[in-house]
Amino acid sequence: MDIAVAPDLKPHDEIPLDPRYADLRDPYHTPVLPTPLPQPRLLHFNAALAAELGLDTGDQELIEILSGNRPWPAYAPIASVYAGHQFGSWVSQLGDGRALTIAEIRKPDGARVELQLKGAGQTPYSRGADGRAVLRSSIREYLCSEAMHALGIPTTRCLSLVASPEPVQRETVETAAVVCRVAPSFVRFGQFEFFYHRNQHAQLAPLADHVIAENFPHLAGEPDRYARWLEEVIERTARLIAQWQTVGFCHGVMNTDNFSILGLTLDYGPFGFLDAFRQHHVCNHSDYEGRYGYDSQPLIGQWNTSRLLQAALPLLSDNQQIAADIVTSIYERYAPAYSRAAIRRWADKLGLREVRDGDTGLISRLLTILHHGKSDFTRSFRHLSRVRTDTDTPANGVREEICDVAAFDAWIADYRARLRAEQNTDDAARAARMNRVNPKYVLRNHLAQAAIERAMDGDDTEIDTLMQLLSRPYDEQPDRERYADAPPDELRHLEISCSS
């Protein structure tokens, strides 16, 4: 792929470094060099993100850095240590087993971000694995992180996607790839858990103070900063999962080591957007008990925050009872924060200006109708903007996604009455509002799979097409209408596992 040179941007070696996380040093992370990637080939470069970083992409040396074949000048790559609860079970040591932070830079707007390679080889935390990522999962993460960003959902992002013919053994032999991920911080819940459960409580404050100074600066130096910081983390997490639920996104591996301290969507593995709506949908076929099903995500998010709060107890008070009382009060903020965010977003999806008594029931009835008919989630909500308030005739153009049309017609009658109750009868204006929150295009599994299969055959064009498509998920794109279709029957049940 050719990279255009932008004269107003800087080469990588002129971008200002600001290694705040690296300055924490041992025991938070370990220096380790990437393993060179043989015959690297750039499949895609995120020019829009590069421009935000102030990064001129025209030199071949940068491609070598993003492949893991050359270090960023004056920065020693590091891998972080952490622990976590995986599928509910405690694992005492994990860590960046195939990820390396390769730079911390300042963007032109002054914000600090970290660049991290995923798939760059073994680290001290690889636990005997090869430290590589495969092309299949790398394409999925590259596409989905940018799709989520365009949907307005907090997320890590991806700058580049590099492939290699190097063989990698998973369920079958696949080929290697490296993505460069970008975020203000990659600190996870599991990093605090690691030091808490090892009784290294003195290590908690420096890590928390780093996170606060860089990402919650209004709290820096305040005597009650840890409690107020945790309140914000819990509420950010609740709001994030409300966004997941209302766009039909399933994470698939909601382990505490995959939860961002900033409330970002982190570690794209066996994720999936809902096609046929099922309340109990499980997108990860390695999740044998369905722990991380769609309808379980809000409660799992709350449970994960309880693990973080436990790990933060030593930060809050030397008195165990006082610390426990503070943690309890913070924990209790999650449920109302989630409920507020979720009901507001569901109301927006229905074009309701206000949230009133009875709206929760209206939303629940619609979801039940979609569930019983396994209706397409994204298309169903997008089509609701066609409902008119100046008629009581059946909602043609919407009912086609529905199985139980009698129940749906009864629901539509109540929905129209609800719209009229707040004098929300300007159908064109309401449709425009609804289409700004109900995407037409999401990264459906079959679309990602098509891009993967073509890339495996040496054709990268579908990756670029999807990047362009998903950068405008709410817009009508008439020349790409087929990408909004529900998957054909034979592709409805693509299975995604943890192997990557």
Residues marked as catalytic: 257
Classify residue 124 as exposed, middle or buried by CB count within 10 Å of its CB (0-12, 13-18, 19+). middle
Give CA 103 to chain center in angstroms. Answer: 21
- Residue 181: C-alpha distances to residues 117, 155, 277, 443 (Å): 6, 10, 31, 18
The 3-state DSSP class for residue 101 equals strand
Q: Are 167 and 175 in contact (CB under 8 A)?
A: yes
CA torsion sign, 444 to 449 to 454 to 459?
positive
DSSP string, 142-180: HHHHHHHHHHT--B-EEEEEEEEEEEEESSSEEEEEEEE
- CA 62 – CA 151 distance, rounded (Å): 29
Q: Are 155 and 143 in contact (CB under 8 A)?
A: no
Q: Are 284 and 498 in contact (CB under 8 A)?
A: yes
Residue type, 288: Y
Tokens of 397: 């153009």
- CA 271 – CA 257 distance, rounded (Å): 16
Residue type, 129: A
Tokens of 332: 């209790």
